[in-house]
Structure 1
Amino acid sequence: MFGAPKTKDLTPQQVKTALDAHEILLIDVREPDEFAAEKIEGALNVPLSSFNPAALPDAGGKTVVLQCAGGKRSAMAVDHCRKANQAIETHLAGGLAAWKAAGLPTITG
């Protein structure tokens, strides 16, 4: 749609730096089984299948960044937020795959 706001893409390194500085709240929108198998330390799980922008945890003044496996579901979640008039527009471009490709650590199991 013309004039629609663009999703803000962050690189894995930008997300890592912001996480380390306690500047963001990372929300992983993958399903619980995916999240349980492997995740980014500090991420909270709010699955896209039951995603409700109004029910997201309080970010305490931090920027909310959405994340999934490859970037598609987190972009969809940003769109849900936009439609619900929630000021959440940022996601980890490339998701967990990009994070791992950048050599950044995950928690498994």
Structure 2
Amino acid sequence: MADERDLSPNTVFEDLKAGRIILVDVREPAEFANQRIHGALLNPLSTFEPKAVPTDSARRIVFQCGSGKRSRQALEAFMAETGVDAAHLAGGIGAWKQAGLPCVQINPATGQVEDNGRY
């Protein structure tokens, strides 16, 4: 059930580059440490408090997770509690990587941080 709140990886990437959004990653800290999108703020769904999300009238809140399921839950909880319009990255960081967009990750073989480019 796609709607205007289901954003594509390329849309999120362009909006992030342009400073039009605040990207909120709702995965757990270990997931975030292993792989993340530049500029994303961490606010795990397990301890999610909608009113703690930093809102900014000039930028739209966009939630992100691994596959899009948790970010959709966060989006719905956030909008219900705050009344603020927001969106989420459809397909999560998996879709982001599939689109070839840059992220920071830990190489499991070497333990080294790999940064494949900023926006």
* TM-score, length-scaled by structure 1: 0.88
Is contact 1:67–1:74 with CA below 8 Å preserved after alignment? Answer: yes
Query: SS in structure 2 opposite 1:84?
Result: helix
Is 1:102 equivalent to 2:99 in the alignment?
A: yes
Alignment-mate amino acid for residue 102 of structure 1: A
Identity %, equivalent residues: 45
Equivalent in 24, 28, 38 of residue 27 of structure 1: 24
Distance 1:59 1:105, change over 3 A: same
On the 8 A contact 2:60/2:86 being kept in 1, the answer is no
SS of the counterpart of 2:39? coil
For residues 29 and 57 of structure 2, what CA distance do their matches in structure 1 show? Answer: 24
Alignment of 1:1-109 (within 5 A): 8-59=5-56, 61-109=58-106
> In the alignment, is the contact (CA less than 8 A) between 1:29 and 1:66 conserved in 2?
yes
Q: Structure 1 residues 7, 87: CA separation in 2 closer, same or farther (over 3 Å shift)? A: farther
Which runs of no fewer than 5 residues in structure 1 stay unpaired? Answer: 1-5
Q: Which stretch has the larger CA shift, 88-97 or 37-46?
A: 88-97
Which ranges in structure 2 are unaligned for 5 or more consecutive residues? 107-119
8 Å contact kept, 1:53–1:86: no
- Name the count of aligned residue pairs: 104
Q: Is the 8 A contact 1:65 1:88 kept in 2?
A: no
Task: Tell which structure's C-alpha radius of gyration is larger.
Answer: 2
For residues 103 and 88 of structure 1, the distance between their equivalents in structure 2, rounded to whole angstroms, comes to: 28
Q: CA RMSD in A?
A: 1.4
* Counterparts of 1:38 and 1:85, CA distance in 2: 29
Shift >6 Å, 4+ stretches? none
